[in-house]
């Protein structure tokens, strides 16, 4: 599967928790940036590395801050240079504040067939605390407009474990989301990232995250409520109706090749991870000069790539195939990890099926701790 990630680093405003490569107030750069992305697609480092694209993912930032014409211009370049398969999954991350029915219709006509809406919460007080600029009503309207515009693959992002949130409030958020009948939900536990306003406020004692027991209750609520509405957990943070799993992200979790364009974009090809220059104006200048965009390049050893494939694959509910690992790396999982597995198996955090090695339900609730043992 050939996959392309395109980073759009612009946003309406920087959220309190955000550590992503994103910049508000740069509208004057949009047209120049789109031209630079197209130039990178045609001429820069991954030229000729892949054929027809099976997935394209516009991430950010807030990709939907661009016009439908600008998104369509990038897609047109991808079609001309790579080719895009007839059944390709083409995803756009979106902020509800940036969309209306006509724009969604234009995006659908441009070729976007999967929309990922950053709802985060259906409680306006939580949205304000997070620094989001949209309301719960904006999100509900956006989903209904997307359905009206012809989207049949709609994903909603929600955030739990936010300061002051109770399991009852999380249940409300889930019930509001599920009532809109999305095909996919991404449910992310808030993490406090260094350098963000939230990190400063936490250090000052101004905010407090829910206790671990409350987080476990929220996790259990997520699984039970999603399953009751026909969405099964297929990855630690992701739930989908059958046939609506995100193919682009599955490519990440299988630790397979993907190429990437845009400011700060990270790609992975034949064991080499690369990262572009992050600042958008610098990115444009470098593309226009025809210089190299890379600020970081790391060639992973087969052993390092094996470990990374195990860690990424364990995020999926079905886990990693022992046979596929051996065929790919010529390394036997049980022999490689040896005694490291003994306490994890004994404590019921991981298990072997006939074909796969995976986290148990108990292990998924404590995934970060368990995976640290296998890095």
Q: Are 310 and 349 in contact (CB under 8 A)?
A: no
Is residue 237 in some structural domain? yes
- Of 253, 281, 315, which residue is a domain's last? 253
Contacts of 243 (CB under 8 A, 6+ apart): none
Span 249-272, pLDDT tens digits: 999 999 999 999 999 999 998 889
Confidence of residue 1 (pLDDT cuts 50, 70, 90): confident
CATH number at residue 163: 3.20.20.70
| Cα 247 from Cα 96, distance rounded (Å) | 23
Pair (28, 130) in one structural domain:
yes
CATH number at residue 362: 1.10.10.920
- Of 217, 232, 253, which residue is a domain's last? 253
Average of per-residue pLDDT across 129-156: 97
Average of per-residue pLDDT across 28-46: 88
323 or 47: which carries more pLDDT confidence? 323
Pair (151, 38) in one structural domain:
yes
Q: How many domains does the chain have?
A: 2
Is residue 271 in some structural domain? no
Is residue 277 in some structural domain? no
Pair (222, 338) in one structural domain:
no
Give Cα separations from 98 to 65, 137, 141, 186 (angstroms). Answer: 6, 13, 12, 20
| Cα 33 from Cα 166, distance rounded (Å) | 42
Pair (324, 226) in one structural domain:
no
Is residue 263 in some structural domain? no
Is residue 249 in some structural domain? yes
Pair (309, 245) in one structural domain:
no
Domain span at residue 366?
304-372
Pair (232, 309) in one structural domain:
no
Residue 47: is its pLDDT beyond 70? no
Confidence of residue 43 (pLDDT cuts 50, 70, 90): confident
Looking at the chain, the whole-number percentage of residues with pLDDT higher than 70 is: 98
Is residue 283 in some structural domain? no
Please give the helix or strand (H or E) that residue 29 lies within, else none.
none
Span 210-232, pLDDT tens digits: 999 999 999 999 999 999 999 99
Pair (152, 243) in one structural domain:
yes
Is residue 100 in some structural domain? yes
| Cα 360 from Cα 375, distance rounded (Å) | 18
Minimal CA–CA distance to 61: which of 106, 32, 30? Answer: 30
Pair (206, 348) in one structural domain:
no
Minimal CA–CA distance to 344: which of 322, 316, 323, 314? Answer: 314
Record the pTM.
0.96
Strands 356-359 and 320-321, bridge-based pairing: antiparallel
Pair (38, 124) in one structural domain:
yes
Residue 45: is its pLDDT beyond 50? no
Pair (228, 329) in one structural domain:
no
Pair (310, 240) in one structural domain:
no
Is residue 88 in some structural domain? yes
Average of per-residue pLDDT across 291-316: 96
Pair (103, 245) in one structural domain:
yes
């Amino acid at each position: 599967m050939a996959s392309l990630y395109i980073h759009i680093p612009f946003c309406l405003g920087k959220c309190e928790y955000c550590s992503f490569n994103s910049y508000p107030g740069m509208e004057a750069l949009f047209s120049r940036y789109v031209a630079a992305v197209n130039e990178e697609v045609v001429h820069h480092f991954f030229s000729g590395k892949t054929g027809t694209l099976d997935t394209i993912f516009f991430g950010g930032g807030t990709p939907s801050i661009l016009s439908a014409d600008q998104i369509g211009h990038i897609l047109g370049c991808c079609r001309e240079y790579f080719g895009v398969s007839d059944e390709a999954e083409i995803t756009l991350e979106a902020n509800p504040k940036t969309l209306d029915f006509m724009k969604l219709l234009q995006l659908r006509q441009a070729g976007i067939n999967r929309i990922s809406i950053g709802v985060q919460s259906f409680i306006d007080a939580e949205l304000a605390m997070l620094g989001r600029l949209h309301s719960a009503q904006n999100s509900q309207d956006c989903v209904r407009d997307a359905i009206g515009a012809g989207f049949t693959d709609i994903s909603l992002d929600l955030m739990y474990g936010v300061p002051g949130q109770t399991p009852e409030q999380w249940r409300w958020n889930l019930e509001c989301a599920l009532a809109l009948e999305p095909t996919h939900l991404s449910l992310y536990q808030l993490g406090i990232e260094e350098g963000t306003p939230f990190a400063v406020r936490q250090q000052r004692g101004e905010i407090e995250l829910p206790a671990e027991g409350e987080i476990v209750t929220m996790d259990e609520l997520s699984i039970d409520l999603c399953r009751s509405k026909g969405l099964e957990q297929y990855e630690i943070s992701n739930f989908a109706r059958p046939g609506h799993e995100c193919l682009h992200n599955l490519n990440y979790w299988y630790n397979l090749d993907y190429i990437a364009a845009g400011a700060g974009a990270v790609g992975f090809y034949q064991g080499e991870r690369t990262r572009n220059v992050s600042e958008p104006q610098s990115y444009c200048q470098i593309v226009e000069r025809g210089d190299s965009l890379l600020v970081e390049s790391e060639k992973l050893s087969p052993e390092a790539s094996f470990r990374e494939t195990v860690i990424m694959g364990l995020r999926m509910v079905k886990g990693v195939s022992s046979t596929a690992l051996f065929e790919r790396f010529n390394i036997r999982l049980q022999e490689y990890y040896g005694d490291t597995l003994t306490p994890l198996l004994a404590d019921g955090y991981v298990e072997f099926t006939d074909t796969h090695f995976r986290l148990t339900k108990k292990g998924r609730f404590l995934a970060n701790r368990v995976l640290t043992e296998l890095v």
